[in-house]
């Protein structure tokens, strides 16, 4: 039976969908509605693997369950294929915000790679402008429905390409105009953050926030490079940091763990981990620990005091939502509302906002959870 990514779930009598949430790791081209893909494809004559929206949704989910990040990324050929005009980008961004709002998100950061949206003549700046227009339309529509939401753009450079400095400059040029951060994405293994040192040096000189995909398809060296070469303030996924933890002994619920230097550094400096459990299972990011929800090192990292956050990564590919991710974590690890609130507070503290805005966001979360 297909997963209903829009289903709600109650915990301690409270609707999880109604709770205020923060989404830090959410890809624009991974959150396009299947029905929108079908309509946009029809407009431009783009051939899809399935012409029916429901069948297309099933196709995305099935293709994404390969256990390979490379195969998982290939599904984006379809979404990117219909996101090559200003109108398409504007619509997708507007609907993206609407879907966040429906999921209870009050603050989100949407990441995407402008360099992948130029095949029909858009410039990089025109692409950024179109997405920003869609975001603002979505925010206004949500406000009209009584839901306040704020969404910022994170511009991603594709790590296998050579445009990272150009995209970094684009991000800085749009500071204060909707862009709040920079990222590198794409195939991680073989494309270390160190290869983009010029971009990261520039961003550091401009005091511009950076998050880096690291520790998803590659190991500790990738995470180390993200922190040293990338000066990352957050780690995109970062789940393989758990391999720097050595479980010495277990006695009942008591676990003795020996920290590696890298893991201790990340924990002690409260560097947020942008964990995405469903995606991590699909791409094989946690294969060293297992293939089931209960095998995910999320709980180990949480119990050891890491700044864990919960994310969807790609709503369409993983057929998920923040509500669903939180519900699954609560069921798997017997979390209560206090735990789920802690994850949102971690995300709020790591948001690419001013300290005053983060404090306001923390107050919204505390009030929404009834603290």
Catalytic residue numbers? 216
Question: Residues near 115 by Cβ (< 8 Å), separated by ≥ 6?
Answer: 124, 157, 158, 161, 163, 166, 167
Question: Residues near 320 by Cβ (< 8 Å), separated by ≥ 6?
Answer: 3, 5, 278, 312
Phi first, then psi: give them for residue 369, nearest 5 degrees: -90, 0
Q: In whole angstroms, what is the distance from residue 60 CA to residue 71 CA? A: 11
Q: In whole angstroms, what is the distance from residue 28 CA to residue 116 CA? A: 12
| Long-range interactions of 163-167: CB distance < 8 A, separation 24+ | 163/115, 164/196, 164/198, 164/199, 165/196, 165/198, 165/199, 165/202, 166/115, 166/124, 167/113, 167/114, 167/115, 167/124, 167/199
Q: In whole angstroms, what is the distance from residue 306 CA to residue 322 CA? A: 20
């Amino acid at each position: 039976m297909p997963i209903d990514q829009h289903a709600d779930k109650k915990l301690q009598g409270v609707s999880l969908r109604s709770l205020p949430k923060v989404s830090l790791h959410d890809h624009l081209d991974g959150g396009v509605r299947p029905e929108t893909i079908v309509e946009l494809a029809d407009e431009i004559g783009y051939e899809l693997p399935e012409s029916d929206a429901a069948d297309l949704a099933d196709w995305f989910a099935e293709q994404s369950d390969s256990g390979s990040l490379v195969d998982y990324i290939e599904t984006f050929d379809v979404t990117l294929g219909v996101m090559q005009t200003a109108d398409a980008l504007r619509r997708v961004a507007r609907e993206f915000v609407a879907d966040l709002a429906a999921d209870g998100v009050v603050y989100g950061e949407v990441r995407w790679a402008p360099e992948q949206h130029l095949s029909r003549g858009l410039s990089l700046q025109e692409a950024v402008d179109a997405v920003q227009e869609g975001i603002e339309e979505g925010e206004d529509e949500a406000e009209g429905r009584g839901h306040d939401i704020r969404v910022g753009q994170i511009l991603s450079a594709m790590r296998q390409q050579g445009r990272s400095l150009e995209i970094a400059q684009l991000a800085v040029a749009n500071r204060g105009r909707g862009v709040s951060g920079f990222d590198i994405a794409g195939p991680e293994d073989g494309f270390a953050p160190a290869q983009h040192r010029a971009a990261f040096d520039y961003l550091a000189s401009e005091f511009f926030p950076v998050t880096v995909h690291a520790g998803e398809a590659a190991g500790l060296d990738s995470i180390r490079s993200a922190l040293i070469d990338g000066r990352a303030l957050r780690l995109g996924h970062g789940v393989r940091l758990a391999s720097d933890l050595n479980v010495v002994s277990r006695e009942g619920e008591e676990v003795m763990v020996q920290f590696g230097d890298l893991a201790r550094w990340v924990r002690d400096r409260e560097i947020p981990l942008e964990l995405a459990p469903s995606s991590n299972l699909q791409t094989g990011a946690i294969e060293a620990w297992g293939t089931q929800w209960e095998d995910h090192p999320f709980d180990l990292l949480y119990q050891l005091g890491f700044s864990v956050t919960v994310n969807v990564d790609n709503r369409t590919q993983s057929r998920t939502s923040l509500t669903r991710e939180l519900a699954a974590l609560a069921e798997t690890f017997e979390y209560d509302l206090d735990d789920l609130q802690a994850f949102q507070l971690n995300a709020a503290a790591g948001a690419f906002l001013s300290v005053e805005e983060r404090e306001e966001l923390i107050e919204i979360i505390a009030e929404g959870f009834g603290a």
